[in-house]
Structure 1
Amino acid sequence: MVALNLYVYETTGRAIALGLFMAVRLGSGFVAGLAAGTLLARFTAKAVMLWTNAAQAAVMVLLILAPDGLRKAALMAVSLVVGGCGTLFMVALRSSIPEMVGEERRGWANSLSITGRSLAMVAGFASAGVVVSLVGYTAAFGVDMATFVLCAVTVALLPITGGGGADRGAAAEGRPARRRTPVAFAALAAAPGLGLMVALRGVDAFGSSSHNAALPVYSAGLDASRPAVFVSAFWCLWALGNVAAQQVIQRYAKRTGRSVGALGFGVGTIVMSGAFILAFAGFPLVATRAVALVAGAADGLTEVSYTSHLQTLSAGVRGHAFGLSATFENLGFGVGMVLVAAALDRYSPLTVVGWSHGAAILVALAFLLRLAVLRKGTRPRRGPGFSQS
C-alpha cells in the first residue's frame, strides 16, 4: 500500500486521486463482505482463498505491463480487485480455521495468524521505502505479485476438507437452498448479543480511521522536517505490543485449553481506544512509546477474541457472519476517513481521535453491560452466543 499510494500520486499528480483510490478499495471490500457468505455457501473456503490470491496476482501483472495511457485504469482495477479479494480472503480464512485446526485450537491458530500478519506489516512498511527508492515501483509491484502467488501455493497445501457448500448440503438433505442475504442477520439473531458485538466492531473501525488519519498530522506538528519518524516508530511499537500480546494469549490457550472470548473483546476495545486517545495527548515520547505498546497489545487481544468468538457459530452461518462483519468494518472505516479528514481541518488530532474512540468506548461499555445481563440470565446453561470460550 505504501508503493501503491506513492505511485497513484506520482501518476495522477493529484491528492484527490489518493482519496478516490481508497474509496474504490473500501467500496469493493464493502460489497465483497455482503457477498462473502453466499460465495462460501456455494464454494469451498479453499477455492475462494485460492482464486482471490490468483486474481490479485493477475491484476498486479496488469499494472506492471500497463502502458502509459492505461495506467490510471490499471490502478483502479488494482484498487477494485485488491479491496474485494482481500476481504473475501480474510472472511474465508477466518471462517475455515476451526476446520483446519479443530475447535479446541482455534484461539491458538488465530493468535498465530495475527502474529504473522503483524510481523509482515512491520516488514512491509519498513522495506517499502527502500525497495521503491532503490529499484523502483515495478520491482515493488513484482514483489507484491510474488507474495500473492506464494499465498495461493500455501492455500493449495492447507488441510481444509470442509468449509462452504452449505447450500449443497441442504439440497442433499432435501431441504430448500434459499435464504441467501438474510442468513447473516439470522446468524446474529441466533447468538444473543452478537449483533451488538458486530456493531461495536464497526464503531471500532470508525475509531481506527481517526488515528490513521491523525497520526501524520500529529507527527508533522512534532517534527515538520521529519514527520515520518514518529509515525514509523509508533506503528513498530504498536506491532511489537501486538506480537507480545499474542504470545501471552497462545500460552494462556495452551495452559487452559480455552480461548479469550467476548469479555476480552469488550475490555480490549476499551483499553485500546483509551490508549489511542492518550497517544495524542502530548505526553513525553517515552510515555507515548509505552502507550503505543499498550494500544498494540489491546488491539491484538480484541482481534483474537472477536475472531475466536465468531468461530463458535455453526459452519452454515459462520461465513455469512464474518462477511457481514467485514461489511460493517469497511463501512465504519470508510465513513470515518471522510468525516475525520474534514474534522482535522478544524479541530486538533486529540479532539478528533478523542471523539471517535470515545464513541467506541461508549459502545463497548454498553456491550459489556449487555454481556453481564446475558451471563446472569443464562448462568445455568451455555448458549451458542456467549460461551466461556
Structure 2
Amino acid sequence: MKKTLYLYVKAFSDFGSMMDTIVLSSLILQLTNSPYWLSGLLLMGVAGGTASALLSGVLADRYNRRSLMIWSDVLRAVTLLLILVWPTPLVILAVRFVNGLLNSSFQVGFQSEIPRMFGEQRLVAVNSRIARYRSISMVLGFLCGGTFAVLLGYRWVLVLDALSFVISAVVLTGMKWEQSAQSSQSSTGGVRAEAEVKRESFGRNFVEAWGYLRGNSILLIVMLVSLIDTFGSASHNLGFPLLAAFLDPDHQAFVYGSIWGIWGVGNVLMTTIMPRIPKLQERLVPFYLGCTVLMSAGFISTLSSHSLPPVLAFAFLTGIFDAGSVTANGMIVQSVENSIRGRVIGVSTFLGQFGFGLGFLVAPWLVDVVGLTQMVWVLHGIVIVTTLGAIVRYARTVRGRKAGRDLPA
C-alpha cells in the first residue's frame, strides 16, 4: 500500500473532526442555552491535549508508534459514539476531554514517525502536503458541518467522524514501513538508545528529554516562540467571530466562514510553494521565525480593518505566513534524533496546548477591558516582540557556534 495514500485518509479524518467540532458546539448550546457550557467544551479539548502530551511523547519513544496511532484512532471512534447513547452535556464534555487526550497521543505518534514513514529527505514535501490537506479539511469541515447536521442530523455527522477514525486505523494496520530504530546520524547508537529508553523509568525519560533540550539552544528558541505564538493565537480565534458580527450582524456566519476560507486559500498557496523553495530544509529556523513575525502582523492587520475587502485581503496574506510558520515548526522538531523525537514533540505539543489554553483565558478579559482591536495588538504584539528577540538570539548563537553541532541553521 502506498504510504502517500494515508495522507488522504488523515485529511478525511481531519475533515470529520472539524465537522464534529461544529456539531458538538451547536448541540451543547441547544441542550444548555449557555455560553459557559460552550466555553467548557472548547477548554475540555485543550485540557485533554495538554494533560496527555508529555506522556504521549514518552510512549512514542518507548513503544511502537504505529500501534499508538492505531489504538488512538480506535478509541476516538468508540468514545465519540458514546454521545449517540448518552447525548447529555456532561457526557459531551467528558468525550471532548478524552478525545483531547487521544488526539494528542495520535498527533505525537504521527509527527514522530513521519521521518521514518516517508523518509527524512522528503520532510519538506510531505509536511507541506499534510498542512495543505489539513487546511482544506478545516475549511470544508467548517462549511459542511452545519449543513450536514441540518440535512442528516448530528448523529450521522458523529458516525461519519467515527468511521473516518476506523478507516485510518485499518489503513495504518495495512501499511508497512521501516520501523527499526535507526538514526540519520548513527544507526547502531539509535538502536541502543531506544532499548535504553524502554528500560528506564518514565521519570528518567522526562529528565533525559529536558537535558537534551537544555543542550540545544536553537530548539529551545523555537519552542519558546511556539509557546508565545499559540498564546497569541487565542486572539484571532476569539476575534474572528466578533469581527464578523461587527462587519455584518445579519450574515455573521457567512462572513466568519469567508474569513477562514480565504485564510485557508493562503495556507494552500504557501504549502504548494514551500517544496519549491531551494534548500529550505537547511534554513528552517530563520524561515520559521520570519513567517511567525509576518503572520502576527497579518492577524493584527486583519482584525484592525473595518470593512470586508481589506479583512479578506489581509486574511489571505496571513494564511500564507501562518502555513509557513506552522509547517516549518513541525519540521524543526521532527529533525531531532529518532530515539528522543517523541519526547521532544510531546514537549512541543504540551507547550502549544498550554499556551493556547492560557491565551483563551486572557483574551476574553482583554476584550472587555480594552476592546477587540487592542486585544489583538497586545497578544500578537507580544508574539512579534518575542520572535524579534529570538531572531537576534538565533543570529548570535549561529555566529558563536561551530558548524554542525546543532540543528540545521
- TM-score norm. by structure 2 comes to 0.88
Structure 2 residue aligned with 1:79? 96
Q: Does 1:92 align with 2:117?
A: no
Structure 2 residue aligned with 1:249? 274
Q: Cα gap change, 1:146/1:159 in structure 2, threshold over 3 Å: closer, same or farther? A: same
Separation of aligned partners in 2, 1:51 and 1:95 = 16
Q: Does 1:362 align with 2:385?
A: yes
Separation of aligned partners in 2, 1:381 and 1:298 = 29
Aligned length: 381
Q: Cα gap change, 1:19/1:84 in structure 2, threshold over 3 Å: closer, same or farther? A: same
Separation of aligned partners in 1, 2:198 and 2:48 = 33
- 2:53 paired residue among 33, 36, 46: 33
Separation of aligned partners in 1, 2:197 and 2:23 = 51
- The runs of 5 or more residues in structure 2 that have no matched partner are 1-20, 183-188
Separation of aligned partners in 2, 1:258 and 1:51 = 32
Separation of aligned partners in 2, 1:111 and 1:159 = 22
Alignment of structure 1 residues 1-389 onto 2, 5 Å: 1-66=21-86, 71-162=88-179, 169-170=192-193, 172=195, 177-178=200-201, 179-252=204-277, 256=279, 258=281, 260-378=283-401, 381-385=403-407, 387-388=408-409
1:241–1:297 CA contact under 8 A, matched in 2: yes
Q: In the alignment, residue 287 of structure 2 is paired with which amino acid?
A: G
2:190–2:338 CA contact under 8 A, matched in 1: no
Tell me by how many angstroms 1:294 deviates: 1.1
SS at match of 1:126: helix
Q: Which moved more, 1:266-275 or 1:185-194?
A: 185-194
2:299–2:318 CA contact under 8 A, matched in 1: yes
Across the aligned residues of Structure 1 and Structure 2, the Cα RMSD in angstroms comes to 2.2
Query: After superposition, what is the alpha-carbon deviation per residue over 1:123-143, rounded to whole angstroms, capped at 9, x for unaligned?
Result: 111101111111111111111
Q: Cα gap change, 1:367/1:181 in structure 2, threshold over 3 Å: closer, same or farther? A: same
2:139–2:264 CA contact under 8 A, matched in 1: yes
The share of aligned pairs that are identical, in percent, is 25
Separation of aligned partners in 2, 1:146 and 1:282 = 41
Q: Which moved more, 1:264-273 or 1:338-347?
A: 338-347
Tell me by how many angstroms 1:172 deviates: 4.9
2:247–2:307 CA contact under 8 A, matched in 1: no
Q: Cα gap change, 1:375/1:81 in structure 2, threshold over 3 Å: closer, same or farther? A: same
SS at match of 1:382: coil
Q: In the alignment, residue 242 of structure 2 is paired with which amino acid?
A: V
SS at match of 1:227: helix
- The runs of 5 or more residues in structure 1 that have no matched partner are none
Q: In the alignment, residue 265 of structure 2 is paired with which amino acid?
A: L
Separation of aligned partners in 1, 2:198 and 2:143 = 52
Q: In the alignment, residue 205 of structure 1 is paired with which amino acid?
A: T
Query: After superposition, what is the alpha-carbon deviation per residue over 1:36-68, rounded to whole angstroms, capped at 9, x for unaligned?
Result: 1211122111011111111110011111122x6
Separation of aligned partners in 1, 2:280 and 2:345 = 24
1:50–1:156 CA contact under 8 A, matched in 2: yes
Query: After superposition, what is the alpha-carbon deviation per residue over 1:285-314, rounded to whole angstroms, capped at 9, x for unaligned?
Result: 322222111111101111121111111110
- TM-score norm. by structure 1 comes to 0.92
Separation of aligned partners in 1, 2:362 and 2:307 = 29
